[in-house]
Amino acid sequence: MTKLLEPSWENAMQALESVRDILLSSSQHAGIQRNWALARNLVDLAERADKLREDIGTVGSGKLLVEPLVPATPSAEQPQAHRNDADSYPRFFIRGGHMVKQGLQRNGVDQYEHAVPREQFSQILEHLREMAARRSKREFSVEQVHKALSALPKYMVYTTMSLLMHQGMLEKARKGAYKFARAESFADESSSLWNKLTLFS
């Protein structure tokens, strides 16, 4: 029999998600300051917070039904503009030599940002180009991509791959696995990606 989480459990999950977002935001700022060791530690803590949030969905040997923690569907009384604003995220743009991903937090109001410096952005794309040439049809994970780029904080790989998903250059093969949408043209498409992003003023 399927069970539902009680409000207190849901509150705990929401709190852990907020902790995760704060840690990721802090890791971004550490990366901008080139404090890579601190950035990696903060990302690791964010992953542990996210894993704990997921583990709350399992009690004993039975798995509880956990509805995705997404903003509630706006009621008919709420303005249409609010719904359209939420639909416009995530956003990607260039600012101060960084590729920036801007998204909405779980409350549907506050924004968060993750930034990847151009040098690191180029390193990630170059590695993905090599992968597209070698293993065009094979699935891969964020962890596999990051393994070859371990000097960079993992959030930079996540953020760059999120952009590529948004641009239709990567596809989700299954949970936790990705594949190239058009491996044969990935090198050409990715080489012009920076210039295609809207400049933020």
Q: Would you place residue 32 in the very low, low, confident or very high pLDDT band (cuts 50, 70, 90)?
A: confident
Cβ neighbours, 10 Å, residue 68: 4
pLDDT attached to residue 77: 42
Give me the pLDDT at residue 78, please: 40
Q: Which residue has the higher pLDDT, 77 or 178?
A: 178
- Exposed, middle or buried by CB within 10 Å (0-12, 13-18, 19+), for 34? exposed
Provide long-range contacts, Cβ within 8 A and 24+ apart, for 3-8.
3/62, 3/64, 3/65, 4/64, 4/65, 5/56, 5/57, 5/64, 5/65, 5/66
Region of poorest pLDDT, from 47-51, 75-79, 176-180: 75-79
Residue of 57, 73, 50, 61 lying closest to 4 (CA atoms): 57
Q: Can you tell me the distance from the alpha carbon of 17 to that of 60, in angstroms, rounded to the nearest whole number?
A: 22
SS3 66: coil
The pLDDT value recorded for residue 9 is 62
The alpha carbon dihedral of 190, 161, 99, 39 has a sign of negative
109 burial (CB, 10 Å; 0-12 / 13-18 / 19+) is exposed
Query: pTM to 2 decimals?
Result: 0.59
The answer on pLDDT for 1 being more than 60 is no
- pLDDT bin (cut points 50, 70, 90) of residue 198 is low
Question: Cα-atom radius of gyration of the chain, to the nearest Å?
Answer: 18
- In this prediction, residues 45-61 reach a mean pLDDT of 64
pLDDT in tens, 22-31: 888 787 777 7
Pick the residue with more confidence: 64 or 127? 127
Strand order in the sheet with 198-199: 111-117, 98-104, 91-95, 198-199
- Amino acid of residue 46: A
What is the model's pLDDT at position 59?
44
Mean of pLDDT values over 12-31: 78
- Residue with the bigger pLDDT between 143 and 34: it is 143
Reported as a pLDDT band with limits 50, 70 and 90, residue 39 is confident
To which residue do tokens 């780029």 refer?
Answer: 149
Distance, CA of 42 to chain centre: 15
